[in-house]
Structures are given as structure tokens and as C-alpha cells.
Amino acid sequence: MNGVVAFDSVHGNTKVVAEAIAGQLKADGHEVSLINVREASPSGVTGDFILVGSPTRGGRPTKEARAFVDGLDPSWSGKPAGVFDTIGPFSKDAEKRKKWMDTAYSGNKNAASKLKEQCAERGIQVTSLLHVPVVGMMGPLAPEAADMAKDFAHKFAATLVRG
């Protein structure tokens, strides 16, 4: 299948996550276009599936990520979709970080949950959601970030029906 991983990134962390997701999808046998939402118009974006990511800024996605989703063609309705975000800052201690991830971001005060809601308003059903921790205000990503992104992508790829 041919898909899209679209992202916005302020400090480079969400870009790294998007690259890891795209790389794993390619390793799983899919063709993937990696798109920076600041550099592409959503109207020309096509594919069999889409994943959209943004850093969490003030409990929501960036305006560029929101604008990208708003501009997606109605043809994305009914196609597999997922969202992801980077959130933080979290503790450098893995146990503390996991505890906070399990509690602090279980609601909808994060970019991925808001993107999921926004997609639903456009008729795009998101079935996969990922939060990736950042250990400082501007990074770096938590040590487990790459593995989280690859696992997310691999599980998403497993849900895709090849035509």
C-alpha cells in the first residue's frame, strides 16, 4: 500500500518520530511519502493510508498541523488513519516518565487526541494514536522514543489490508 506520514515539528523531535514511523512502514513493505506540513499543501496529498503528527503545544497541535488536517480532501474518509504527538517535558527517570505518561496524558489535552477529534469532524476515522515523551522543553526525545514509534508503525501496518 501507498501511504503518507505528515508531520509538523518545532524543535525537530516530531520529525524524528515521523522518520522512524515512515522507516518502519517501509520496512513492513509499504511505500511512504514523508511530508512536512509546513512545506506541502494537503489538497494534493493522496494515498491508501495517512498518519499525521504534531508536537503538543499548549495542550493541542500546532496551527500548521490543524490547517493541514482541515485541508485534507474528503477522499481520506474511510481510509486507515493514525495520529501521533510528542509531549513533555518529562522526567529523565524511566519509571517516573511512564507513570506520568499513563496519567497526565490519558485525556484529550494533547496534540494527538485533538488531531483525532479534528479528523473525526472531517469523516476520517483514526484507529491508531501514539504519544511520544520528550524529556526537556525542547528535547531530546526519551530513550524509548524510536522503539515506540517503530512499534506503533508496525502495529498500524499490520491492520492494513493489501488490495
State the pLDDT at residue 86: 96
Residue with cell 526519551: 142
Mean pLDDT over 125-145 rounds to: 95
The CA distance from 88 to 20, in Å, is 19
Pull the grid cell for residue 17: 518520530
SS3 109: coil
CATH of the domain at 110: 3.40.50.360
The pLDDT mean for the chain works out to 94
Q: Which domain holds residue 47?
A: 2-159
The CA distance from 143 to 146, in Å, is 7
State the pLDDT at residue 137: 87
Task: Give the tens place of pLDDT for each residue, 94-109.
Answer: 999 888 887 766 678 8
| Counted domains in the chain | 1
Sign of CA dihedral 68, 17, 152, 47: positive
> What is the chain's length?
163
Mean pLDDT over 114-135 rounds to: 96
CA distances from 109 to 8, 75, 95, 106, 122 (A): 18, 28, 22, 8, 20
pTM as predicted: 0.95
Pull the grid cell for residue 118: 479534528
The CA distance from 160 to 44, in Å, is 22
Mean pLDDT over 2-9 rounds to: 98
Pull the grid cell for residue 50: 495517512
State the pLDDT at residue 19: 98
CB of 80 within 8 A of CB of 159?
Answer: yes
